[in-house]
Structure 1
Amino acid sequence: MTAVLGDPAPAGLLDAFWAYERALMANDLEQLDRLFADRPDTLRGDAAGLLVGHEQIRRFRGGRGGARLRTVLDVHVRVLGAEHALVVAVTELERGGRGQQTQVWQRGADGWQVTAAHVTVPAAAHDARIWRVVGDPLVRPTGAGPLDGLDVAVKDLFAVAGQPVGAGNPTWLGHAPVETTHAWAVRTLLGAGAAVRGIARTDEFAYSLAGANAHHGSPPNPRAPGRISGGSSSGSASAVSLGHAAIGLGTDTGGSIRVPAAYQGLFGIRTTHGAIPTAGVLPLAPTFDTVGWLTREASLLARVGDVLLPEVAPRPVREIVVVPELLALAEPDVAEAVGAFAASVDATTESWDLAHLESWREAFRVHQAAQAWAAHGPWLRTRLDSLGPDVRARFEAAAEITSAQAVAAAIGVASAGRTIRRLVGDRVVVLPSASSVAPLLAEDVSAVRDATMRLTCLAGLGGLPAVTVPRATEEGLPCGVGLVAGPGRDRDLLGFVRDREERLRR
């Protein structure tokens, strides 16, 4: 039986509270909207972050698919004034464990409404949206070095000895052998003192930029609650953003490090093609596949580079350019933030002729698809129904690419790469890492994917290193500044952001 404790409840308050509780369990979005004050300063928070304003809260509810089923055990009321009251409810989840819901209610012309709320639920021992398997740690370091005491979230494409590679797909996982050796990158990090915290989720076969795995859900984005995490290194990114790991090891084929870094306010690097061995990494499109990583600090991003990247003589960054035609490919709020960053590092403005950009992107898409089908088509041909709808559609399209189309795309990729490397030259180019802030969970992201690929394909076509620096829009949402340099200048980019970390975070 529910007990009501504390001050006597003002007239109508408990009726409104129970109406809210019924609406929550029924996922009655209209009633929930009515019972939350329609104000720009209404608050709703939980462990994933704080939502500010009725519109943000409404969008969050519309995209989450309902709250966990629970029973209210106790209700505590504290009267704060003639028209205000604090209500704290102790809840018990159907799946087990107790939580709390704290609400500030205000009585107005429309009756009692919530103006602020905070929800706590028992922490999951294993968040399956983020981790396929996790330990404390899963694999201990094999040596000592500059990464002592740090944990790594390893994208589920890398071989970890004693574990199969799952590739984000349960059917593939069920057929995958247990790996006997670590991937080169994993082995090298372990030898430098890092531990493997666990194996992090990925979009199926890394063939997406959204982070929404049809089998396991979308890993949370604590920097932008209610929005997608970004893929395909989504689990690694969320683990770092949430503080579950210091380093997120991933891959970047078409933006799979840069996009989640931009969406979640992280530093990230896509390395020069071929700079880091991909031995032990499940391929998607070998022409574009690269190893990368994400961190919360620029200094750590560079420290990981000291471990993984080949040693080369440093070359100082002498010229930084920003291209208005590239800024124009992003949404205005992101373009403004990237432009402000460019001004802060004294970038010069340079105009590029992007008349062939669409043909470059199409060559990238077709060449990537042809290679993805070559890598996985023989296994997937009779198992396409094991894929989520978006990834399945890409593989089905890939299966239809003819040999002539694949050859033409490969020629187009090579030509575009030469042009892009010439345009970048010996400079650092500033551009958006993603075309927009993270879309809402319930949003169709196909148009956003296409827009972002127009930007991210440039580094992929050129085989170039690209670092993402976190910034924020005027509304406070995370976005990413991309820094692209010539082949082999990974350490130069990392040193540039490391040496300016304090200023870059302002």
Structure 2
Amino acid sequence: KTLAKPSSANPPDRTMEVSKCPSLGRFHVSSSAKVWIVVGIGVAGAIILAETTRRRRRRRCGGLERREDFGAFVERFELLPAPQPPPPAARHPLADLSFAVSDSFDIKNYVTGFGNPDWKRTHEPASRTAVVVSCLLKHGATCVGRTVMDELAFGITGENVHYGTPTNPDVPQLMPGGSASGSAVAVAAGLVDFALGTDIVGCVRISASLCGIFGFRPSHGILSTIGVLMNSRSLETVGIFAREVSVLHRVGHVLLQASVLGPKRKRRFIIADDCFQLLRVPKQKTVDVLSKAIQSLSGYQLPEHVNIGQYIASNVPSLKEFREPCTNMQKGISALKALSTVMLLIQRYEFKTDHGEWVNSVKPKLGPDISSRLLAAVECTHENNKSLYKIRAELRAALNSLMKDDGVLVVPTIPDSLLQINSKKKLTLDFEDRACTLLSIAGMSGCCQVSIPLGKHDGYPLSISFMATHGADKFLLDTILDMHSSLQEQSRIASSLQPTPDINGDMDASELLKEKGNAAFKGKQWNKAVSYYSEAIKLSNTCATYFCNRAAAYLELGCFQQAEADCNQAISLDKKNVKAYLRRGTAREMLLYYKEAAQDFKYALVLEPQNKAASTAERRLRKLLA
């Protein structure tokens, strides 16, 4: 604050009146100066108090400060839409809607920054506006600015060391996700009606899921990328964020240039059970919500179930080159991991091809995470690039065969290992490994996918994704519009229910039933074995062997979450149960929790140093963690 200027007719003393007392050595200060000293002290005290209060509030909020625009924008401007046609012609379909775009979309006479000041410094203003942006303006929408993104579209957290990390409006303690963090935040905060970003390895879908909004990755190549800076041309698509399903549907139809017809009624849902094993959320909040929503609608078939990892392993033969040696049980998850590896190799190869020369000549200043990714890209030396693209073609053909023209594949959007603000690098990498396992299915195949918010679980956003064959974008958007209200209603009901145990059956048991379970297990009748062990547990829930045996059957069925839960119970009953540690380690490895799995195998070796299975698994995981 500044003090009011005093009247010139009666000016205050500008200097202290000082006289020294010879006997005491003191200074005497005039009364007017004392007043000013007191005022100064008072103002300083008020400032200190205000700052202390602000810091306390900031600490209570986890060190987060809410900015007016949540830090979403790099620059603000206004691009007005085309004039409305005179009556009786219909209004533009996107009239009165506002939108923003990531810092990778060209706007005429503005320099596109690509999330990095050095890129912006070394490039000229765009000579024309990106085709998709012009299309939206033509159909009545207003563009209000460009948003923050991960540098060069290379990150998944949404952080940017130059422009700041946008604040997640839904859960401020959570990263907004990237690379299109600013666009997702602008939509989630209600600053715009919808926004554009680009999706490479999952950028739009991750941000949408973490911010609790819709995120649409169209089929690869279906929307124009003219005037869009590309990180990886064969993976990247223009993506759309929206809070409301109706807005997503309108914008999608405009960009797809789709005719507005009644929804196609025949639909077939295929649930990827193995992918939901990676999501530590009760099925009653995901798969059960979907199943009940389907039952409440006409024209929908009962959902089918598939182990998508096993299906890909069997139908994408070129992927075998990139899979690690594994057992039949590990075959599915190994295929998904190999798929994500291939996706990242393609991204690195294409970025190096298109931007490697600029990187080497400019040597841009980058955040530490982006710097390591960029280094991996420019040093990429994979020679057999044709095999990478062959996998892509085989995967698209396999998914087209699975889904056909009426199928919708259902997967979790991201795993539940949520990105907290200031997460350790190791936790971020763990999240990325698990997330890419799910995101690579659409990313590599080029199929269309929409992330759909389903409320929250334990205070964090929850979402699932619908995926359709390449080119079936209109069908997918129509499906979501048709059933979203039913999904919302079932999600609301599920949130109000008490969690129920996720077990097969509710039967009786005995020691004899354990022996029956063992016999069924030896006969490879896994479901029957689970039933017998469940009966045994119902009768006697203090026997570690029953839980441990059921865990073995669950492992054979690919039910890794249930296997881990049974091993937890067995270990709580018997701390020296080596089989329980071995089976829990196997379950955790299949769920991609490598660190925890390694700890289980190490402890099994402590209990039984000569155990070959534990020793082999521990060495394998040590190599993976390295």
The alignment's TM-score, normalised by the length of structure 1, stands at 0.74
Matches within 5 A, 1:48-447: 60-61=61-62, 64=64, 124=68, 129-135=71-77, 138-144=78-84, 145-311=92-258, 315-330=264-279, 332-333=280-281, 337-346=285-294, 347-352=303-308, 353=310, 354=332, 355-426=334-405, 427-436=407-416, 438-444=418-424, 445-447=428-430
CA distance in 2, matches of 1:472, 1:302: 20
Contact (CA 8 Å) 1:466, 1:482: kept in 2 or not? yes
2:454 matched residue in structure 1? 471
Q: Which has the higher helix share?
A: 2
Secondary structure of the residue that 1:381 maps to in structure 2? helix
Secondary structure of the residue that 1:391 maps to in structure 2? helix
* Aligned-residue offset at 1:176: 2.0
Deviations 1:236-257 (A, max 9, x none): 1111111111011111111111
For the aligned residue pairs, the C-alpha RMSD in angstroms reads 2.6
Deviations 1:219-244 (A, max 9, x none): 11111111110111111111111111
* Aligned-residue offset at 1:420: 3.5
Of structures 1 and 2, the one with the larger relative CO (CA 8 A, separation 6+) is: 1
CA distance in 2, matches of 1:246, 1:438: 26
Give the count of matched residue pairs: 401
**Residue identity in the other structure for 1:412:** I
**Residue identity in the other structure for 1:333:** V
**Change over 3 Å in CA distance of 1:335–1:390 after alignment to 2:** farther
Deviations 1:149-188 (A, max 9, x none): 1111111111111211111001111122111211110000
Contact (CA 8 Å) 1:275, 1:310: kept in 2 or not? no
**Residue identity in the other structure for 2:346:** H
- Alignment identity in percent? 28
CA distance in 1, matches of 2:364, 2:146: 25
1:79 matched residue in structure 2? none
* Aligned-residue offset at 1:310: 3.6
Contact (CA 8 Å) 1:342, 1:430: kept in 2 or not? no
Mean Cα displacement is larger for which, 316-325 or 152-161? 316-325
Contact (CA 8 Å) 1:437, 1:478: kept in 2 or not? no
**Residue identity in the other structure for 1:430:** V
Secondary structure of the residue that 2:159 maps to in structure 1? coil
Structure 1: runs of 5 or more not aligned: 2-17, 33-43, 47-56, 68-120
CA distance in 2, matches of 1:410, 1:291: 21
Q: Which has the higher strand share?
A: 1
**Change over 3 Å in CA distance of 1:140–1:319 after alignment to 2:** same
Contact (CA 8 Å) 2:399, 2:469: kept in 1 or not? no
**Change over 3 Å in CA distance of 1:420–1:389 after alignment to 2:** farther
Contact (CA 8 Å) 1:148, 1:194: kept in 2 or not? yes
CA distance in 2, matches of 1:155, 1:442: 23
**Residue identity in the other structure for 2:216:** I
**Residue identity in the other structure for 2:421:** L
Q: Is 1:485 paired with 2:485?
A: no
* Aligned-residue offset at 1:143: 4.2
Contact (CA 8 Å) 2:293, 2:483: kept in 1 or not? no
Larger radius of gyration: 2
Contact (CA 8 Å) 2:109, 2:125: kept in 1 or not? yes
**Change over 3 Å in CA distance of 1:317–1:239 after alignment to 2:** farther
Structure 2: runs of 5 or more not aligned: 2-46, 85-91, 295-302, 311-331, 490-626
**Change over 3 Å in CA distance of 1:390–1:499 after alignment to 2:** same
Deviations 1:26-50 (A, max 9, x none): x6xxxx6xxxxxxxxxxx8x9xxxx
